[in-house]
């Protein structure tokens, strides 16, 4: 009888294990919030087999979770955190133990009305010289788009027959010369760096060196090419012998410093279009998405043909990331190609037993040539094609298909994209996933050289329609001032606009409108002597299943030159106009040497509300014509020095 009971128990446990799916390994958490009093509510679907939930909390940039902040019973489906403030971000980890032995994890970055990110650092665009002659216009537009999203942008060209070591030397030199360089975008057939002696897909005939773009971003480490001697792989490109230019290391030596990604559409003969046309089409789709010209449903599709797979649960990379993006109710398990030929999903995931040109149950590279697959960001996983530098490779194929802009081999290890829900770019997630060892659940092969993103690393999830044309001209009535005129965005959710200025077209744009403005033209009374570049960006408050943040459109620019002499720095002087001033007037007396110069008063948005000319008599300003608040008053002499009498 005891033996029968034991067998019955084993049968029950076996059936429970068989019934496990990848979603069981994810706590599919999303968030809502209240402003007054401020609170964030985390919520997730009930897990019938849960034992307990452990919650952790940290700031976005902290590198460890610290102590448990709450232990919840197995029936819990939400947690309310009142220890929050508006305009701050909080990252949470939820761990759920289960009676089935499954360890489920969920992660979310949540916040309430998080401030806009105006500057993201500098980006290096590395372009294959083979394709530059045919797409200079598209490359220039790409640089405008990247600049418009808050990046300084610099471009260098590299011949595709150069060595990877040469490319790495160039990138390292740029990073050493520019401490604000954060991102590198490899465009075209940039030489492929190989490294390691491993087979993360588990196949003996695939052991050796794999493509290792991550090493281009690991600028502080010294990699070697002296120890590995392996020629067992069926693909000669994976062979690795001393002195062949393929590096020894399988694991990344140190933390990757730069966000790295590539768009390489060479060697895709299944597509009827030439490489340069495929690249142009990609840049057209990139531009259209950034500018809000694609209507894509904020939802996710998962096509899982592996299931739990002994606890690796590859597709949990989808379930875990998509819940903070869209909420658990907007994650759908459907067929990859047949669904997205006719329906669109902002994000998608597909996995199955693979080969270089496809994944079982998902499809093949040929399926990407049949019709447009309507997804912007995707993840694919299966054997072989994670080694993406192969003919018609399934990891690169989505980028040639129509509108898909990024792809990665997510499963060994898992990737973390939940920071994108509050405005981060996908390159941030790439570097985070490359450097992760234990902060987030990783599965096997974490922090190894093969972890790579196919696509534009500067892309973000949420777009805002930009303003129309921006026009700059010399302002009338104010010496040495520039007016920046623009056409309003057609986005119905726009709250206002920010104005920025730079000394160079693709340099760092500094915000010059302290607050959002809702009028045009905006007047810059302190332009740079010479060439000035101006940018205008629309602002929305983006509500997401992770909270809300102020989102910015791609910037639209114009430039103008103004010439004057004797520029000096001057300090701003503020004065407050009270609701019921003792006197209805404030008087200013100009020194004789300032007669003929400008008196300017601006409100806190930067709008000029009063202007006059210094003369020999006292100038009176009627306070009753101005609303109560803080104002900036300036009188500028011929040397641009502020004087207040």
Per-residue confidence at 478, pLDDT binned at 50, 70, 90? Answer: confident
More confident residue, 604 or 433: 433
Asked if residue 265 lies in contact with residue 277, where contact means CB atoms within 8 angstroms, the answer is no
pLDDT digits (tens, 9 = 90+) for 218-238: 999 999 999 999 999 999 999
Give me the pLDDT at residue 600, please. 72
List, in order, residues 6 or more apart from 506 with CB less than 8 Å away: 143, 147, 152, 153, 154
Structurally, the chain folds into a number of domains equal to 4
Give dist(CA 397, CA 582) in Å, integer: 73
Q: Which of 35-39, 315-319, 606-610 has the lowest mean pLDDT?
A: 606-610
To which H or E segment does residue 376 belong? strand 375-381
Give me the pLDDT at residue 479, please. 72
**DSSP symbols for 139-201:** HHHHHHHHHHTTEEEEEEEE-TTS-HHHHHHHHHHHHHH-TTEEEEEEESSPPPPEEEEE-TT
Per-residue pLDDT at 583 exceeds 70? no
Asked if residue 336 lies in contact with residue 381, where contact means CB atoms within 8 angstroms, the answer is no
**Residue 464 placed within a domain:** no
Rounded to a whole number of angstroms, the CA Rg of the chain reads 28
What is the dihedral angle through the alpha carbons of 508, 509, 510, 514, rounded to the nearest 10 degrees?
Answer: -150
Per-residue pLDDT at 641 exceeds 60? no
Same domain, 297 and 395: yes
Reference 143, options 281, 258, 286; nearest CA is: 286
Choose the final residue of a domain: 90, 113, 136: 113
Same domain, 219 and 341: yes
Same domain, 213 and 355: yes
* Tokens coding 250: 């399988």
Same domain, 296 and 333: yes
More confident residue, 540 or 611: 540
**DSSP symbols for 480-540:** T-EEEEEPPP--TTEEEEEEEEESSTTSPPEE--SS-B-SS-EEESS--SEEEEEEEEEEE
Per-residue pLDDT at 395 exceeds 70? yes
Average pLDDT over residues 354-370: 98
Percent of the chain with pLDDT over 90: 82
CB burial of 30-61 (b: ≥16 within 10 Å; e: otherwise) equals: bbbbeeeebebebbbeebebbeebebbbbeee
**Residue 461 placed within a domain:** no
**Residue 485 placed within a domain:** yes
Reference 143, options 120, 126, 160, 131; nearest CA is: 126
Average pLDDT over residues 375-400: 98
DSSP, collapsed to helix, strand or coil, labels residue 343 as coil
Residue found by looking up tokens 């306070």 in the block: 623
**Residue 307 placed within a domain:** yes
Give me the pLDDT at residue 391, please. 98
Same domain, 497 and 556: yes
Average pLDDT over residues 572-595: 55
Average pLDDT over residues 582-594: 61
Per-residue confidence at 264, pLDDT binned at 50, 70, 90? Answer: very high
**Residue 568 placed within a domain:** no
Per-residue pLDDT at 5 exceeds 60? no
Give me the pLDDT at residue 529, please. 87
Region for 243 from its dihedrals, namely left if φ exceeds 0, alpha if ψ lies in -120 to 50, beta otherwise: left
pTM, two decimals, is 0.87
Per-residue pLDDT at 10 exceeds 90? no
Choose the final residue of a domain: 514, 535, 562: 562
Q: Which of 39-48, 156-165, 415-424, 567-576 has the lowest mean pLDDT?
A: 567-576
Give dist(CA 552, CA 497) in Å, integer: 9
| Alpha carbon distances (Å) from 60 to 27, 354, 421 | 19, 35, 13
Establish how many alpha carbons lie within 13 A of residue 414's alpha carbon, considering only the half-sphere containing its beta carbon. Answer: 27
CB burial of 111-140 (b: ≥16 within 10 Å; e: otherwise) equals: bbbbebbeebbbbbbbbbebbeeebeebbe
Give me the pLDDT at residue 626, please. 66
Average pLDDT over residues 611-631: 65
Give me the pLDDT at residue 601, please. 73
Average pLDDT over residues 37-42: 98
Same domain, 189 and 335: yes
**Beta-bridge partner residues of 502:** 533
More confident residue, 195 or 581: 195
Per-residue confidence at 624, pLDDT binned at 50, 70, 90? Answer: low
HEC string of 54-118 equals EEEEECCCCCCCCCCCEEECCCCCEEEECCCCCCCEEEEEEEEEECCCCEEEEEEEEEEEECCCC
* Tokens coding 605: 């948005």
Angle at 392 between CA 391 and CA 394, to 5 degrees: 120
Domain span at residue 306 reads 121-455
Establish how many alpha carbons lie within 13 A of residue 318's alpha carbon, considering only the half-sphere containing its beta carbon. Answer: 34
**Residue 188 placed within a domain:** yes
Tell me the pLDDT of the chain averaged across its residues: 90
Give dist(CA 418, CA 109) in Å, integer: 6
Give me the pLDDT at residue 610, please. 72
Q: Which of 463-467, 558-562, 620-624 has the lowest mean pLDDT?
A: 620-624
Give dist(CA 155, CA 136) in Å, integer: 12
| Alpha carbon distances (Å) from 324 to 60, 539, 547, 548 | 15, 22, 9, 12
Average pLDDT over residues 1-13: 36
CB burial of 181-190 (b: ≥16 within 10 Å; e: otherwise) equals: bbbbbbbbbb
Give me the pLDDT at residue 12, please. 36
Give dist(CA 389, CA 387) in Å, integer: 6
Which range is most confident: 206-210, 584-588, 617-621? 206-210
Give me the pLDDT at residue 17, please. 45
pLDDT digits (tens, 9 = 90+) for 400-424: 999 999 999 999 999 999 999 999 9
Give me the pLDDT at residue 589, please. 63
Same domain, 374 and 446: yes
Q: What are the phi and psi torsion angles at 160 (to 5°)?
A: -70, -15
**DSSP symbols for 397-462:** GGGGSSS--EEEB-SSS----GGGGGT--HHHHHHHHHH-SSSS---SSTTBTT--EEE-TT--S-
**DSSP symbols for 220-280:** T-----SS--B--SSSGGG-B-TTSS-B--SB-SS---SEEEEE---S-TTSSS-HHHHHH
Same domain, 40 and 104: yes
Give me the pLDDT at residue 593, please. 61
* Tokens coding 242: 């001393």
Per-residue pLDDT at 382 exceeds 80? yes
Give dist(CA 549, CA 542) in Å, integer: 5
pLDDT digits (tens, 9 = 90+) for 503-521: 999 999 999 998 999 999 9
CATH number at residue 603: 2.60.40
Other beta carbons within 10 Å of 2: 6
Same domain, 513 and 606: no
CATH number at residue 500: 2.60.40.10
To which H or E segment does residue 631 belong? strand 629-636
**Beta-bridge partner residues of 454:** 262, 407
Per-residue pLDDT at 579 exceeds 70? no
Choose the final residue of a domain: 506, 537, 562: 562
Residue found by looking up tokens 């199955």 in the block: 352
Give dist(CA 196, CA 251) in Å, integer: 8
Same domain, 126 and 173: yes
**Residue 499 placed within a domain:** yes
* Tokens coding 492: 């119905």
Same domain, 40 and 66: yes
Read off the DSSP letter of residue 305. S
Q: What are the phi and psi torsion angles at 393 (to 5°)?
A: -60, 140
First to last CA, the chain: 102
Give me the pLDDT at residue 396, please. 98
Same domain, 512 and 530: yes
**Residue 535 placed within a domain:** yes
Give dist(CA 392, CA 389) in Å, integer: 9
List, in order, residues 6 or more apart from 308 with CB less than 8 Å away: 17, 20, 21, 22, 24, 25, 102
């Amino acid at each position: 009888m005891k033996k029968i009971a034991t067998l019955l128990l084993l049968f029950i446990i076996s059936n429970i294990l068989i019934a496990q799916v990848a979603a069981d390994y994810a706590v599919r958490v999303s968030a809502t919030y209240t402003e007054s009093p401020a609170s964030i509510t985390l919520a997730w679907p009930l897990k019938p087999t849960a034992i307990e939930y452990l919650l952790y909390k940290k700031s976005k940039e902290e590198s460890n979770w610290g102590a448990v902040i709450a232990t919840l019973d197995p029936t819990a489906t939400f947690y309310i955190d009142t220890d929050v403030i508006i305009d701050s971000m909080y990252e949470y980890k939820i761990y759920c133990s289960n009676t089935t032995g499954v360890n489920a994890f969920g992660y979310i970055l949540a916040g309430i009305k998080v401030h806009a990110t105006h500057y993201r650092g500098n980006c290096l665009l590395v372009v294959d010289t083979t394709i530059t002659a045919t797409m200079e216009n598209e490359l220039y537009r790409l640089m405008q788009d990247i600049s418009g999203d808050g990046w300084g942008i610099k471009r260098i060209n590299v011949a595709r027959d150069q060595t990877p070591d040469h490319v790495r030397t160039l990138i390292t030199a740029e990073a050493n010369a520019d401490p604000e360089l954060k991102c590198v975008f490899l465009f075209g057939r940039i030489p492929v760096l190989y490294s390691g002696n491993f087979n993360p897909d588990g196949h003996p005939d695939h052991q050796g060196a794999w493509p290792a773009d991550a090493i281009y971003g690991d600028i502080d480490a010294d990699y070697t090419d002296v120890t590995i001697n392996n020629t067992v792989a069926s693909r000669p490109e994976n062979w690795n012998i001393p002195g062949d230019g393929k590096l020894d290391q399988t694991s990344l030596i140190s933390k990757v410093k730069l966000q790295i990604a590539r768009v390489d559409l060479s060697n895709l003969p299944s597509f009827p279009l030439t490489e340069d046309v495929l690249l142009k089409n990609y840049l057209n789709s990139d531009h259209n998405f950034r500018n809000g010209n694609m209507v894509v449903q904020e939802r996710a599709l998962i096509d899982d043909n592996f299931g739990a797979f002994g606890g690796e649960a590859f597709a949990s990379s989808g379930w875990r990331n998509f819940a903070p993006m869209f909420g658990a109710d907007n994650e759908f398990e459907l067929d990859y190609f047949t669904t997205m030929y006719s329906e669109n999903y902002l994000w998608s995931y597909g996995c199955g037993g693979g080969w270089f040109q496809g994944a079982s149950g998902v499809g093949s590279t040929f399926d990407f040539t049949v019709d447009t697959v309507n997804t912007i960001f995707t993840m694919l996983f299966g054997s072989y094609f994670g080694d993406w530098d192969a003919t018609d490779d399934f990891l690169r194929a989505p980028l040639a298909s129509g509108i898909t802009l990024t792809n990665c081999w997510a499963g060994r290890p898992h990737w973390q994209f939940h920071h994108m829900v509050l405005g981060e770019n996908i390159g941030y997630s790439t570097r985070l996933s490359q450097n992760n060892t234990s902060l987030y659940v990783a599965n096997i092969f974490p922090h190894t050289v093969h972890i790579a993103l196919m696509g534009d690393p500067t892309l973000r999830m949420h777009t805002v329609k930009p303003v129309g044309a921006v026009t700059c001209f010399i302002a009338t009535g104010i010496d040495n001032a520039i007016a920046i005129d623009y056409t309003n965005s057609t986005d119905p959710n726009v709250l206002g606009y920010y104005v920025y200025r730079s000394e160079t077209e693709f340099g760092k744009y500094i915000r010059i409108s302290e607050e959002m403005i809702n009028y045009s033209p905006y007047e810059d009374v302190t332009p740079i002597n010479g060439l000035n570049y101006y940018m205008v960006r629309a602002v929305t408050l983006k509500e997401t299943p992770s909270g809300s943040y102020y989102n910015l459109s791609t910037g639209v620019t114009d430039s103008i030159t103004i010439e004057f002499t004797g520029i000096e720095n001057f300090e701003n002087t503020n004065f407050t106009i009270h609701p019921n001033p003792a006197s209805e007037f404030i008087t200013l007396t100009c020194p004789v040497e300032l007669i003929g110069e400008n008196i300017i008063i601006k409100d806190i948005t930067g709008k000029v509300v009063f202007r006059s000319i210094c003369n020999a008599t006292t100038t009176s300003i009627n306070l009753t014509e101005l609303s109560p608040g803080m104002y900036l008053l300036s009188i500028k002499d011929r040397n641009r020095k502020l004087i207040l009498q």
